[in-house]
Structure 1
Amino acid sequence: MSSPQILRLSKLSLITSLVLSGHAFAQETNTKDDSLEKIAVYGQHHKNYITEDAQSATKLGLTIKETPQSISVVSRALMDDFSLDDINSVLESTPGVTVEQIETDRTYFKARGFEITNFQVNGLGIPQSSGSIQGTLDTSIYDRVEIVRGANGLMTGAGNPSATVNMVLKKPTYITQAHASLSYGSWDNKRLELDVSTPINENHAVRAVFTKQKSESYLDRYETDKTIGYLAYEGKLTDDTTLSINYVNQQKDADSPLWGALPLYYTDGTATDYDVSTSTAADWSYWDNSAEQVYVTLEQNLSATWVATARYAHIENEQDSELFYVFGTPDSETGLGLTGYASRYDYEDKHDLFDLYASGKFDLFGQEHDLSFGVSQAKMDYNEQSLFDYTTGNGFPPMPSLDSWDGVIPEATLVDALSGSDIKNKQQSAYVSTRIKLGEPLSVLAGVRYTDWETSGSAYGVEQTRDDSEVIPYFGAVYDFTESFSAYASYTETFVPQKELDINNEQLAPITGKSSEIGVKAQLLDDQVFVTFAYFDAKQEGLAVEIANTAPNSRYYAADGINSDGFEIELSGKITDDLSASISFSNLSIEGDDEVENYTPENQLKLAATYQVPFVEGLTFGANYRWQDSTTRDQYDENAEPRVYVTTTNQDAYGILDLMANYKITKNVGVTFNVNNTTDEKYLHSLYWAQGYYGAPRNYALSVNWQL
């Protein structure tokens, strides 16, 4: 028997033993006295890391325990405790997610071996052609972040079988609340947060959030300036009609950002080892990102158990940049051999998203069941332009050694060789899902989504026309051994349209992503702790692969892509009256792409915990630890034909430890002290590209917090 087969059997054996032992545990707890009333409090002011509800996987009003898929929720409490101020730091703390920070202002995210391309706000979003996030998304406006791992075809249709990230905006409250935080940290990092919510009357409420952050950096020359404004309204127009409106404006201006990163090896094949602060950015370069978003939701109660919901979103993103890239391989003695590359890059996109659905309950065969159905439409148009300097001699200058370079380089005149993209995407869908209770312990979920996807336009001279439609199935089952312990299984698909043509000049069918999962979920310790275990298998089918000797009019055939399997374990909640924690371990095995397999960590451990010191009132300590095992990347001379192997870049296993202490001076005022990368670990952010740069060294922040 081959080793992969042995590995899969060992994982299945582990799952079986956990299910059986969990069932035994559940039966044992059933023998205890159930007469005591169970009370669990959930909300942003409860210092706990457990959240019961998440609507990113279905629209059936199910709890996480009732949903047959892996769902993690990063709560407001966790974000506040460890200053998880952007989506990068949130996803770094999420089970099974890898944050591929390739540059200062562009990041990719991966789960289960695939790029995450589905990002939503309040459940609305369109899959991206690429999963990169430009700039950073600040989290001060979000109540929580929900991450559904695996294919999410029922809710999104198109995308990879990786994960869906849903950022849930803060809602107005019907009691007056106010929060202010002022912090100062390493590299002159200054941050101000203001959050005020108040009722207008008993049926209407508003909320406003303002965030301002200015900071220098451990990286030479890099500085950022962020401004976030958020307004929210919620009100009852009638007893049965609720309207909510949300407005978001985010602006991040970056001076001397990284475009590309550091070379990772010398001409003799040995590894480079620059100072952590080393940057390839010119002193004149910049990258400014802005986003403006409007969300409108109208809910109409149709009966005691049925609600119709209409949602609309308009989103605009803009980028304005002049960037400086460095490429080549330096000499190990002199550091010479690199070349600069300047470019101006402008980008803008517009999204219009609409979703109309009804959800509720119905009775059949003496049981109450759930049903949801609806239609959605998403349009996204984007335009990007690039300009270069081929005439002044400053567009591609020879570089000095990066060890001594101070970023000073003649500024390029970026007016040459205009190129870019002009793309229009349209996605229309109809969907239905239901949960049927076959008996008291067993529920079956089923759904189907029809999606039609159209793309037109060109990107840098390459036609992007795509026109595909797919029917996406969803099947799942949940078996409740007890009120607190259940097992589940699910299967769903997703798809990605392709523009490539086959040997007959026909457009290839979309890539199909298939995701299977089995697992167990349990609520323990009077429902204060939530535990999940999942085993998954995900695969791509129909990936375009170029047929040899068909250039320049290349033709393609459909082949299998990446196949991944593994398991994830997660525990979150209030373990004791004084201890809250979120702990996860994930294992991932990838086949079908050696490069992806090598730069993706096989094992990850993530732990965040806070402890309220019982003998010192108001004092809390916390730790946030993230560990991943070793990764590698084979490096090639891409200018050779065929390309020639040069060396292998290695990133040893490493762990990052952040510590926190919080002290409440009064009922309303507290101070928090954070130490990040406490052990001063030196590590590369990512081997996703052939270049890379180092993570931040040890740093500190002190904040003063006030809450009404």
Structure 2
Amino acid sequence: MSKKSFTLSKIATLCAVALSTSAFAEQAKDKDIERVSVYGQHHKNYITEQADSASKLGITIKETPQSISVVSRALMDDFSLDDINAVLESTPGVTVEQIETDRTYFKARGFDITNFQVDGLGIPQDGGDVHGTLDTSIYDRIEIVRGANGIMTGAGTPAATVNMVLKKPTYTTQASASASVGSWNKNRLEVDVSGALTDNHAMRAVVTKQRSDSYLDRYATDLTLGYIAYEGQLTDSTKVSVNYIRQSKDADSPLWGALPLFYDDGTATDFDVSTSTAADWSYWNNDNEHIFVELEQSLGTSWFIRARYAHMTNEQDSELFYVYGTPSAETGLGLTGYASEYDYKDQQNLYDLYATGDFSLFGQTHNLVFGVSSADMNYQDSSLYDYTTGNGFPAMPPLEDFEGNAPIPTLEDAYNGSKVEADQKSAYASARFKITEPLAILAGGRYTEWDSEGLSYGNSKVNSSEEFIPYIGAVYDFAENYTVYASYTETFAPQSEQDQTGMALDPITGESKELGIKAQLLDGQLFATFAIFDALQDGIALPDTALSTPDNTVYYAAEGINSDGYELELSGRLTDDLSASFSYSHVDIEAGDDANEGKLVRDYTPEDQVKVALNYQVPVIEGLSFGANYRWQAKTSRVQSNGTIPTVTTQGAYGLLDLVATYQVTERISATFNVNNVTDEKYLHSLYWAQGYYGAPRHYAFSINWQL
């Protein structure tokens, strides 16, 4: 198939023909599609079973042959998981690599998570990093599909897909508000109001305001978030929804880079947890504006078509201060500052059109979804420096003595930056065939074309690639409450690095295999999953030092990174008063002889993680409950470059314990007291980069919550 022949109009025509010529819809008119299934209502709703991020087939997590975790609104509220970093820190098998105060990477199964969605719409992040933080007050739940999810996301990695599901309008009037105060002058206010405008139209609005200083010297943030959602029933069979999000987060004295991790004699640094390299004049402001529109048309009782559109704009404005070098073990001198002005803007337009429903064949009911999607993206950024006044690269005092008083630079020199455009078009189809009553087969595929052009800091981003990603899975109910499953899929990720001939390297390819069991225990009150996985990425670009020159770096496709391991997750209601969520994950990472980055990934990725959340309602005191949230990870390390002295930075195994107490004062008012990092553990946030900084020490928050 040529690229010219692949157009959205032709694909849409094929989909329409398939729908009109199929007898499926006619056979399914008298069948009600089960859009949401709940197996075992969990106390406190810590884990929600509703999730459609993996297939769009309207099937339950138990019926899906992949590992899926859902972080509910209740868990986010109880433990003040106010941003996506905190949510994913509590998610099985996920590591949060917070390299700076306002930039974070996320990993699962040894690979970067690059697929982030809102209500199932999203595109891969170019580098996988999230700037600023995503506040969670507007989300009903966060769905995490671990492993590759090629049918739903197109380009990506075998890590995971994170889908943030927005709160929806309700036709019954409801309102809530929460005001909290906490350590380091943290003040937060959330207001959430929803209700019907008429019998067929409803709206919801959420407003969040947060201001806070920090345990880090000089760092402070100011966040404002507004969300408006509308839903309308235009006819008996036609529904429309519109969602608007506007978030701004201004950060004063943020970290750009972090602390040096070793001295010139190879010994590890050990600063106070509050130490920061940020200048007192530095700032990093992030503004996001997102619009989502969805039109749903029902066809009979079990088929419907959805057309969805999203427009996303992200802007950054910053003046930053980086510190580099290796300090003297005796004097602390030897570091140099590095000032820069950085501005960024991206725009994304996302389209998705699909049809889904049931059909009957050979005495069984089956599920089918097929559709097309498109995404056009562009971004541009710029950097300026100070090479003329002497203030752009000042010599630094020992960090123990640095109070942010770096000289103010004149950032007008050496303009550089990026201007990149990219386009992704896909067609996909997936079906769940009920072979027998206990056996179902899921099969599908996605064809994707990816094109990009432009320059980024002198490096070409020209790339054109196309891939077909297959998916196959099987689910077998071998007993009333027990299911085994297996799945296989592939991945691809475009890359623009060029070889010695000037041609862009082929996309990074990969595959993901998974085998598992899911069980409903304790009369359906406890849900358990166990999964074994094996994932691979191959063809990763690495510099070809033999053929590169000082003016031109060329690349070659290196041997890949292989990741295998297992994950165990249990969630639900253990007794009438005790609910729990528990997970244990183990990962082994291997790399080819030339994939040095793969060896590094293995070192800074913890092999083992344990995550536990508990909530206990005290039976003798009505309205009183206690909770605990615990995360533990194994030792990690990073081999550092320090001349001829071998240097290894090590973060020992550590655990973080958060506690919460909630008391229902009246029918509508409750009070919550949180203590985070109860044991005051000192730890490095991440060894993802050659620098790092410490996590927050013990801190507190108190909130008053009201609900109509």
| Range into which the TM-score falls when normalised by the shorter chain | over 0.9
CA distance in structure 1 between the aligned counterparts of 2:543 and 2:409, rounded to whole angstroms: 37
The one-letter amino acid paired with 1:574 is R
Q: The residue matched to 2:474 in structure 1 has which SS?
A: strand
Corresponding position of 2:666: 666
**CA drift at 1:200:** 1.2
Q: The residue matched to 1:47 in structure 2 has which SS?
A: helix
CA distance in structure 2 between the aligned counterparts of 1:440 and 1:260, rounded to whole angstroms: 56
Match of 2:62 among 49, 62, 65: 65
CA distance in structure 1 between the aligned counterparts of 2:448 and 2:645, rounded to whole angstroms: 43
The one-letter amino acid paired with 2:696 is A
- Asked whether the equivalents of residues 265 and 645 of structure 2 are also in contact (C-alpha less than 8 Å), the reply is no
Runs of 4+ in structure 1 over 4 Å off: 38-43
Corresponding position of 1:627: 632
- Asked whether the equivalents of residues 460 and 497 of structure 2 are also in contact (C-alpha less than 8 Å), the reply is no
- Asked whether the equivalents of residues 172 and 198 of structure 1 are also in contact (C-alpha less than 8 Å), the reply is yes
Corresponding position of 1:28: none
CA distance in structure 2 between the aligned counterparts of 1:240 and 1:576, rounded to whole angstroms: 43
CA distance in structure 2 between the aligned counterparts of 1:503 and 1:449, rounded to whole angstroms: 32
**CA drift at 1:232:** 0.4
**CA drift at 1:42:** 5.3
**CA drift at 1:122:** 0.3
CA distance in structure 2 between the aligned counterparts of 1:242 and 1:49, rounded to whole angstroms: 30
The one-letter amino acid paired with 2:626 is F
Corresponding position of 1:8: none
Post-superposition Cα deviations, 1:590-640, rounded to whole Å, max 9, x if no partner, equal 001211111110000000111000000000000000000101111104xx6
Corresponding position of 2:264: 267
Corresponding position of 2:605: 600
- Asked whether the equivalents of residues 258 and 692 of structure 2 are also in contact (C-alpha less than 8 Å), the reply is yes
Corresponding position of 1:258: 255
- Asked whether the equivalents of residues 140 and 166 of structure 2 are also in contact (C-alpha less than 8 Å), the reply is yes
**CA drift at 1:50:** 2.5
Corresponding position of 1:649: 649
1:583 lines up with 2:588 in the alignment: no
CA distance in structure 1 between the aligned counterparts of 2:500 and 2:393, rounded to whole angstroms: 39
Corresponding position of 1:79: 76
Q: TM-score, normalised by structure 1?
A: 0.92
- Asked whether the equivalents of residues 271 and 400 of structure 2 are also in contact (C-alpha less than 8 Å), the reply is yes
Post-superposition Cα deviations, 1:521-543, rounded to whole Å, max 9, x if no partner, equal 11222322211100000001222
CA distance in structure 1 between the aligned counterparts of 2:570 and 2:179, rounded to whole angstroms: 32
Q: TM-score, normalised by structure 2?
A: 0.92
CA distance in structure 2 between the aligned counterparts of 1:279 and 1:504, rounded to whole angstroms: 44
1:516-527 equivalence runs, <5 A: 516-527=513-524
Corresponding position of 1:294: 291
- Asked whether the equivalents of residues 50 and 530 of structure 1 are also in contact (C-alpha less than 8 Å), the reply is no
Q: The residue matched to 1:102 in structure 2 has which SS?
A: strand
Question: Which range moves more in the overlay, 330-339 or 390-399?
Answer: 330-339
Post-superposition Cα deviations, 1:410-431, rounded to whole Å, max 9, x if no partner, equal 1111010000000101000001
CA distance in structure 1 between the aligned counterparts of 2:392 and 2:477, rounded to whole angstroms: 65
**CA drift at 1:551:** 1.1
Match of 2:130 among 125, 128, 133: 133
Corresponding position of 1:540: 537
The one-letter amino acid paired with 2:271 is Y
1:299-318 equivalence runs, <5 A: 299-318=296-315
- Asked whether the equivalents of residues 253 and 289 of structure 1 are also in contact (C-alpha less than 8 Å), the reply is yes
- Asked whether the equivalents of residues 38 and 50 of structure 2 are also in contact (C-alpha less than 8 Å), the reply is no
Q: The residue matched to 2:82 in structure 1 has which SS?
A: coil
Question: Which range moves more in the overlay, 66-75 or 508-517?
Answer: 508-517
The one-letter amino acid paired with 2:673 is F
CA distance in structure 1 between the aligned counterparts of 2:504 and 2:701, rounded to whole angstroms: 54
CA distance in structure 1 between the aligned counterparts of 2:416 and 2:225, rounded to whole angstroms: 32
* Cα 1:39–1:307 shift into 2, 3 Å: closer
**CA drift at 1:320:** 0.3
- Asked whether the equivalents of residues 305 and 355 of structure 2 are also in contact (C-alpha less than 8 Å), the reply is yes
| % identical aligned pairs | 67
Match of 2:346 among 345, 349, 352: 349
CA distance in structure 2 between the aligned counterparts of 1:547 and 1:325, rounded to whole angstroms: 28
Corresponding position of 2:212: 215
- Asked whether the equivalents of residues 535 and 563 of structure 2 are also in contact (C-alpha less than 8 Å), the reply is yes
CA distance in structure 2 between the aligned counterparts of 1:474 and 1:562, rounded to whole angstroms: 21
1:230-241 equivalence runs, <5 A: 230-241=227-238
**CA drift at 1:41:** 7.3
CA distance in structure 2 between the aligned counterparts of 1:527 and 1:384, rounded to whole angstroms: 52
CA distance in structure 2 between the aligned counterparts of 1:288 and 1:547, rounded to whole angstroms: 37
**CA drift at 1:499:** 1.8
Q: The residue matched to 1:84 in structure 2 has which SS?
A: coil
CA distance in structure 2 between the aligned counterparts of 1:545 and 1:706, rounded to whole angstroms: 55
- Asked whether the equivalents of residues 50 and 529 of structure 1 are also in contact (C-alpha less than 8 Å), the reply is no
CA distance in structure 2 between the aligned counterparts of 1:582 and 1:166, rounded to whole angstroms: 20
CA distance in structure 1 between the aligned counterparts of 2:277 and 2:231, rounded to whole angstroms: 47
1:224 lines up with 2:221 in the alignment: yes
CA distance in structure 2 between the aligned counterparts of 1:547 and 1:199, rounded to whole angstroms: 62
* Cα 1:548–1:268 shift into 2, 3 Å: closer
CA distance in structure 2 between the aligned counterparts of 1:525 and 1:297, rounded to whole angstroms: 39
- Asked whether the equivalents of residues 50 and 528 of structure 1 are also in contact (C-alpha less than 8 Å), the reply is no
- Asked whether the equivalents of residues 670 and 706 of structure 1 are also in contact (C-alpha less than 8 Å), the reply is yes
Q: The residue matched to 1:307 in structure 2 has which SS?
A: strand
1:115-154 equivalence runs, <5 A: 115-154=112-151
The one-letter amino acid paired with 1:564 is S
The one-letter amino acid paired with 2:605 is T
The one-letter amino acid paired with 1:346 is D
Q: CA RMSD in A?
A: 1.3
CA distance in structure 1 between the aligned counterparts of 2:237 and 2:480, rounded to whole angstroms: 32
Corresponding position of 1:559: 558
1:111 lines up with 2:118 in the alignment: no
Q: The residue matched to 2:601 in structure 1 has which SS?
A: helix
Q: The residue matched to 2:575 in structure 1 has which SS?
A: coil
1:315-464 equivalence runs, <5 A: 315-464=312-461
